[in-house]
Amino acid sequence: MSEANQELQNEVAGLVVSALNLDIKPDEIQADAPLYGEGLGLDSIDILEVALVVSKHFGFQLRADNADNVRIFSSLANLTRHIAANRTK
């Protein structure tokens, strides 16, 4: 992973932790561990909250009706890749 992508992944992990008031440090989120259910243990409301924060912060819309949401939110690494490809700020 490039240094820029690692920095973005760290930033995204920080957003997830702060948006959800998680009791972990951003660097404790494993890049390839599932965000939903087992792994980080997020539920659909948590994912919605993360989508709102990411949309505001990076300037593009994460839509609930996107067929790729299962893949996008499957892990921190996938979410970071999606943001890197679509961000406007």
Residue the block writes with tokens 């760290």: 10
Beta strands in the chain (DSSP E): none
- Confirm whether pTM is higher than 0.85: yes
Grade residue 75 by pLDDT with cuts at 50, 70 and 90. very high
CATH number at residue 23: 1.10.1200.10
Domain enclosing residue 33, as ranges = 3-86
| Total domains present in the chain | 1
Q: What is the pLDDT of residues 13-33, one digit of tens each?
A: 999 999 999 999 999 999 999
Between CA 65 and CA 19 the distance in angstroms is: 22
